[in-house]
Amino acid sequence: MIVKEEFLSKIRSLFGLNLYEAKIWTALLSRGVSTAGELSDIGDVPRSRAYDVLESLEKKGFIIMKLGKPIKYLAIEPKGVIEKVKKYVNNETLEKIKRLENLKGGEVLEELDALHNQGIDYVEPSDLAGALRGRHNIYTHLEAMVKEAEKSVVIMTSSKGVMRKIEALKPEFNRLKKKGVEIRIAAPVTKDAEKSIKGVSKVAEVRHTTEVKSRFCIVDNKDLMFMVMNDEEVHPTYDVGVWVQTPYFASAMQGMFDKSWNNMKPASSILN
């Protein structure tokens, strides 16, 4: 049996298998029931590895070992495998989240913080900068920035960007408001964004602007991220954000934002 490499690659990615596991499983699917030796030959997997691979697949719920001699293996219907994999991935994710949560306040995190604090002393201010490619990576870093806010969060974005950012950052906005952090958002307000804007009206002030077309976020007058492309003209995969941690530049951008802010209309006056 010859299975295309492209198909094997998809199987590995979707089901979380290594190459030998994918080969043995697809070989067994093609036979229904078979011995380890037969599957080794069909799947082009070394016999010395076949039993380990089959044991692994059995634990993951992809196959069943039949009783009797010689030992044979039975393939489980793919639909049934999907449900088992979903459960396995969910349990594994919950376990990882639990382990990560347990790090808080523990010795491991203390050591990691000590290493970071030690290393930051050797970092030049010019090194506290970086580029992020892809909107997913941009928003992940943006969330991390906002999470650390102590005094203020300022965002200027596009008409579509305001909906995306509110959706992504609303949980953090709610938490920050309880800490007394001031949150201001400027964007071209449209009817499409009405629901999103009203959803954060109690924790963030949103104002309408069409004069300044820019996409950036400033946190506590020191952390700044700005996007270098028009989000209406670039695919999310190719969107680029630049992050810098510099009070000098961030304060200058904040000053320009504050001057423009005073001339902006409240979003509510545009939507009503």
- Tens-level pLDDT at each residue, the chain (272 residues): 567 788 888 888 888 888 999 898 888 888 888 888 888 888 889 988 989 999 988 888 888 888 778 888 888 888 888 887 888 888 888 888 888 888 877 777 777 767 656 654 544 444 456 888 899 999 999 998 999 899 999 999 998 999 999 999 999 999 999 999 999 999 998 888 888 889 898 999 999 988 778 899 999 998 999 998 998 888 999 999 989 888 888 888 899 999 889 889 888 877 76
The rounded distance, in Å, linking the Cα atoms of 147 and 257 is: 21
Domain that holds residue 264: 118-271
Q: Are residues 126 and 86 part of one domain?
A: no
Establish if 166 belongs to a structural domain. Answer: yes
Q: Are residues 80 and 47 part of one domain?
A: yes
pLDDT of residue 1: 56
Dihedral of the alpha carbons of 134, 135, 140, 141, in degrees to the nearest 10 = 70
pLDDT of residue 120: 47
pLDDT of residue 117: 64
Q: Are residues 265 and 140 part of one domain?
A: yes
Establish if 125 belongs to a structural domain. Answer: yes
> Which of these, 198, 204, 207, 157, lies nearest to 181 by C-alpha position?
204
Q: Are residues 264 and 141 part of one domain?
A: yes
In the chain, the number of structural domains is 2
The enclosing domain of 164 has a CATH number of 3.30.870.10
